[in-house]
């Protein structure tokens, strides 16, 4: 009801717990700033030996680095994580960017040759807690030391991860804003280092790696690299436990990985690869781009709207390090940009992506979420939105345009295709969204003297894992592919299906976009169901009850559900 212009939600709850218990009421499973810091502290302890890593460390070791990107307005930590393998590690470290990385006692992470960046962020809207569980599932997966899929991901990418973009809003209990009441996901076009430090820092990191993480001609393809002393491209055991004792020794021989599914994606089916002999390896000691001096570091991260303040430094820019806007999208050092969210009214898990006028670009743009749906029964491809209207729509409450959101602003600045949002929101660049519980959220009771247990919600956790696996499928180097068990059988067939789907939407809506916005996914020419939300909900219920699928012709086919290399229940963290 409305009480003096304020909306009031009332409900009745009968306390059946023992006397003195604490009961928490929440719109969705909570994940606090304190829980996030505790999780990161545990990872610091688990990977404490990573600080001793060098280019001579075992190649498939997990490289984990945590640093302070900046402080929020309330002086809380905004952390930046770096996760990859030791392939391509250089002696040089990343520079300290202007107005960022204030903790001088913590060194910047190493630089890596031959790897592009996968950027993932979460909780720019502090009340959208499902995004944290997707983030945690993604992080848990890429840190697996003995999973060949995680090993391949670390070979391919340098992961840059921000677990909590808006810690002030999280601590204060805000739903969409920071401590000043500002929606930070509308500030990406021109963020201010003083007013929007986390968004400024995120965009600075993106712009830097767009230029400096490019894979230049002649760079190695670490997917197919075999150590001169090894016999296999992937190992089954991690070497992190012996990093300190073997930091200066050669890599031990790698054991053979025998998986029948690997034959489905043999190296011969990948793109042309570059193999390096021992005599060629010293070439990797050179950085892929010139290192900026301490006086002109700001040039590398600021957009072209700041030419006056740094004109003197601009004149000293080395010719080998171009401005971000001069780097073509296909040459970008940024492979994926995914921003995670939670949706308050739309059901299921889906993605908001950008609209491209070229249908081939649009096909590549939409392939990634389709692959997520093949790897997770909880992700609803038909609930995704890739319309131009959704890129520039204005918020009903304050009139701010989505043009200032991360996925649109990054696309406008860099032009990369994979930039979606996930609600969880997700894509590259784009966003991933997950629905939040209905109708009245959750409540949790804790006995006297006990702490509220950390929640690990299986559905978004599993979607985070599928998000990572989809990146392997996009590169056709998944050791345990599930696409071979789908109706499409291979990526080329799926790409042809997607082209037909895009053309079907063009015929229905006058362009490569859907009609009616995010809330009304259309019936496509490929026979996908009209009601994505109801379909996703019934699918989740059927899987949760242990029954079969809904019987549709979508990706949740009996063969896929029976795949031995994939489980829908989160049996282990």
- Whether 304 and 325 have beta carbons less than 8 Å apart is answered as yes
Which region, left, alpha or beta, applies to residue 427 given φ > 0 means left and ψ of -120 to 50 means alpha?
Answer: left
Q: Is the peptide bond before 439 cis (omega within 30 degrees of 0)?
A: yes
Q: Are 106 and 67 in contact (CB under 8 A)?
A: yes
pLDDT at 220: 87
pLDDT higher than threshold 90 for residue 390: no
Q: How many Å apart are CA 132 and CA 122, to the nearest integer? A: 6
Rounded average pLDDT over 330-334 = 89
Tokens of 230: 């090894």
Any idea which residue has 């739903």 for tokens? Answer: 175
Q: Which two tokens stand for residue 210?
A: 């767009």
> Taking a C-beta distance cutoff of 8 angstroms, is the pair 61, 86 a contact?
yes
Quote the pLDDT of residue 36. Answer: 97
Confidence (pLDDT) at 439: 33
What pLDDT, on the 0 to 100 scale, is given for residue 418?
61
**120-124, 291-295, 466-470, 484-488: which has the minimum mean pLDDT?**
291-295
SS3 552: coil
Q: What is the pLDDT of residue 251?
A: 36
Handedness of CA 265, 271, 272, 277 (dihedral sign): negative
What is the model's pLDDT at position 70? 97
CB neighbour list of residue 294: distance below 8 Å, 6 or more residues apart: 95
pLDDT score recorded for residue 231:
40
Q: What is the pLDDT of residue 420?
A: 59
pLDDT at 7 over 70: yes
Predicted local confidence at residue 29, as pLDDT = 84
DSSP output for 90-103? EEEEPPPPTT----
Residue range 496-519, pLDDT digits in tens: 999 999 998 877 654 554 434 444
For the segment 352-379, what is each residue's pLDDT rounded down to a tens digit?
A: 888 888 888 889 989 999 999 999 999 9
Q: Is the pLDDT of residue 48 over 80?
A: yes
Q: What share of the chain is helix, strand, coil (3-state, %, to 5)?
A: 35, 15, 50
- Between residues 481 and 25, which one has the greater pLDDT? 481
pLDDT at 109 over 80: yes
3-state secondary structure of 497: helix
Q: Please check whether residue 373 is in contact with residue 249, taking contact to mean a CB–CB distance below 8 angstroms.
A: no
What homologous superfamily is domain 32-216+329-438+458-505 in, according to CATH? Zn peptidases (3.40.630.10)
Q: SS in 3 state form for 430-476?
A: EEEEEECCCCCCEEEEECCCCCCCCCCCHHHHHHHHHHHHHHHHHCC
**Alpha-carbon Rg for the chain in angstroms:** 23
Task: pLDDT band for 448, please (50, 70, 90 cuts).
Answer: low
**CA dist 416 → 57, 102, 498 (Å):** 33, 29, 19
Q: Print the SS3 string covering 118-159.
A: EEEEECCCCCCCHHHHHHHHHHHHHCCCCCHHHHHHHHHEEE
pLDDT range class, residue 307, cuts 50, 70, 90? very low
Q: Residue range 414-441: average pLDDT?
A: 52
The pLDDT of 465-479, averaged and rounded, is: 94
Distance CA(213)–CA(111), nearest Å, equals 9
Listed range (180-184, 409-413, 536-540) with the worst mean pLDDT:
536-540
Q: Is the pLDDT of residue 257 over 90?
A: no
Q: What is the pLDDT of residue 417?
A: 65
Both tokens assigned to 355: 């609209």
DSSP symbol at 9 = -
**Maximum mean pLDDT: which of 80-84, 435-439, 489-493, 516-520:** 80-84
Q: Domain coordinates of the chain in residue numbers?
A: 32-216+329-438+458-505
Task: Give pLDDT, residue 567.
Answer: 33
Instruction: Give the pLDDT confidence of 123-163 residue by residue, as tens digits.
Output: 999 999 999 999 999 999 999 999 999 999 999 999 999 99
Read off the pTM.
0.73
What are the angstrom distances between the C-alpha of 447 and each of 18, 20, 26? 7, 7, 17
Contact of 87 with 79, CB cutoff 8 Å: no
Give the residue with greater pLDDT, 476 vs 571: 476
Burial class (CB in 10 A: 0-12, 13-18, 19+), 167: buried
In whole angstroms, what is the distance from residue 301 CA to residue 288 CA?
17
Between 112 and 423, residue with greater pLDDT:
112
Predicted confidence at residue 252, as pLDDT, reads: 38
pLDDT reading at 248 higher than 60? no
pLDDT at position 232 is 46
Q: What pLDDT, on a 0 to 100 scale, did the predictor assign at position 537?
A: 42
Across the chain, mean pLDDT equals 74
CB 148 within 8 A of CB 479: yes
164-211 confidence digits (pLDDT tens):
999 999 999 999 999 999 999 988 889 999 999 999 999 999 999 999
Give CA–CA dist 421/536, Å, rounded: 19
Are 386 and 415 in contact by the 8 Å Cβ rule? The answer is no
Residue 243 pLDDT grade (very low, low, confident, very high; cuts 50, 70, 90): low
Percent of the chain with pLDDT over 70: 63
pLDDT-derived band at 118 (thresholds 50, 70, 90) equals very high
């Amino acid at each position: 009801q409305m009480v003096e212009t304020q909306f009031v939600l009332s409900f009745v709850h009968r306390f059946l717990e023992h006397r003195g218990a604490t009961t928490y009421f929440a719109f969705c499973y909570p994940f606090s700033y304190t829980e996030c810091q505790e999780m990161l502290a545990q990872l610091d302890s688990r990977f404490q030996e990573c600080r001793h890593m060098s280019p001579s460390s075992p190649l498939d070791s997990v490289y984990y680095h945590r640093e302070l990107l900046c402080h929020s307005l309330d002086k809380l930590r905004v952390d930046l994580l770096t996760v990859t393998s030791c392939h391509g590690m250089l002696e040089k470290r990343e520079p300290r960017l202007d107005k960022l990385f204030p903790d001088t006692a913590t060194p910047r992470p190493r630089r890596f040759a031959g790897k592009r960046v996968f950027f993932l962020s979460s909780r720019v809207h502090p009340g959208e807690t499902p995004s944290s569980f997707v983030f945690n599932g993604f992080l848990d997966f890429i840190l697996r030391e003995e999973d060949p899929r995680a090993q391949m991901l670390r070979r391919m990418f340098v992961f840059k991860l921000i677990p909590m973009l808006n810690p002030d809003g999280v601590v204060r209990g805000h739903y969409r804003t920071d401590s000043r009441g500002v929606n930070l996901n509308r500030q990406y076009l021109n963020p201010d280092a003083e007013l929007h430090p986390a968004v400024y820092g995120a965009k600075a990191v993106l712009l830097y790696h767009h230029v400096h993480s490019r894979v230049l001609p002649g760079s190695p393809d670490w997917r197919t690299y075999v150590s001169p002393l090894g016999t296999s491209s992937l190992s089954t055991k991690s070497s992190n436990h012996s990093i300190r004792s073997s930091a200066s020794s050669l890599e031990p021989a790698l054991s053979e990985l025998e998986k029948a599914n690997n034959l489905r994606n043999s190296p011969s089916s990948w793109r042309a690869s570059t193999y390096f002999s021992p005599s060629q390896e010293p070439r990797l000691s050179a950085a892929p781009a010139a290192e900026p001096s301490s006086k002109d570091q700001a040039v590398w991260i600021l957009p072209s709207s700041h030419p006056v303040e740094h004109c003197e430094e601009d004149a000293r820019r080395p010719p080998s390090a171009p401005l971000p806007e001069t780097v073509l999208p296909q040459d970008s050092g940024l492979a994926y940009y995914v921003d995670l969210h939670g949706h308050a009214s739309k059901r299921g898990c889906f993605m908001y992506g950008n609209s491209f006028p070229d249908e081939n670009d649009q096909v590549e743009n939409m392939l990634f979420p389709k692959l997520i749906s093949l790897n997770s029964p909880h992700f609803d491809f038909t609930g995704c939105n890739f319309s131009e209207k959704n890129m520039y729509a204005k918020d009903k409450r304050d009139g701010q345009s989505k043009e200032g959101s991360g996925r649109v602003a990054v696309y406008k600045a860099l032009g990369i295709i994979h930039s979606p949002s996930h609600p969880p929101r997700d894509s590259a660049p784009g966003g991933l969204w997950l629905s939040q519980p209905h109708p009245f959220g959750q409540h949790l009771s804790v006995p006297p003297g006990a702490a509220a247990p950390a929640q690990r919600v299986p559905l978004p956790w599993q979607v985070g894992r599928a998000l990572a696996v989809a990146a392997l499928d996009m590169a056709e180097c998944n050791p345990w592919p599930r696409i071979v068990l789908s109706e499409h059988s291979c990526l080329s067939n799926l790409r042809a299906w997607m082209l037909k789907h895009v053309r079907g939407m063009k015929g229905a809506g006058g362009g490569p976009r859907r009609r009616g916005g995010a809330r009304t996914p259309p019936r496509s020419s490929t026979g996908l169901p009209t009601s994505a939300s109801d379909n996703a909900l019934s699918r989740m219920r059927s899987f949760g009850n242990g029954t079969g699928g809904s019987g549709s012709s979508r990706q949740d086919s009996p063969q896929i559900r029976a795949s031995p290399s994939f489980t829908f229940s989160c049996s282990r963290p």
